[in-house]
Amino acid sequence: MDACIVENNIIVNVVVLPDGADPAAFGCKPLPHGKWIGDEYDSDATLSARLSAMEQNQENSAVWDELDAAYQEGVNTAYDS
C-alpha cells in the first residue's frame, strides 16, 4: 500500500509499505485519495481559514482583496436569502 512522507504539510514523497502496516512505524502518514507528491496533505482547511492565511501574506494582497470581496458577497447573499 502507498503512504506518504509529509513535511510542513506538503507531501514530499510517496512510498510503498506492506499491506496493513502502520505508516507511523516508517515515519509516514496514510496517503489521502487523489493526493500525490507536491500536494498539501491537509486540504480540509476552510475557505475562511485560507483567506486568513492569505491575509498574512502581503504579496497576495490583490488576490486576497478579490477573494475577500467574493467571500463577503457570498455571505451577504446568504443573509439576504
User: Binding mask 17-56 vs other proteins (x if CB under 8 A, - otherwise)?
Assistant: xx--x----x---------xx-------------------
- Give the other-Cβ count within 10 Å of 57's Cβ: 10
What distance in Å separates the CA atoms of residue 81 and residue 78, rounded to the nearest whole number?
5
What distance in Å separates the CA atoms of residue 44 and residue 70, rounded to the nearest whole number?
20
66 counts as binding other proteins under rule CB under 8 A: no
2 counts as binding other proteins under rule CB under 8 A: yes
In angstroms, what is the C-alpha Rg of the chain?
18
Closest approach of Cβ 10 to other proteins, in Å? Answer: 14
Per CB under 8 A, which region of 10-18, 40-48, 53-61, 66-74 contacts other proteins? 10-18
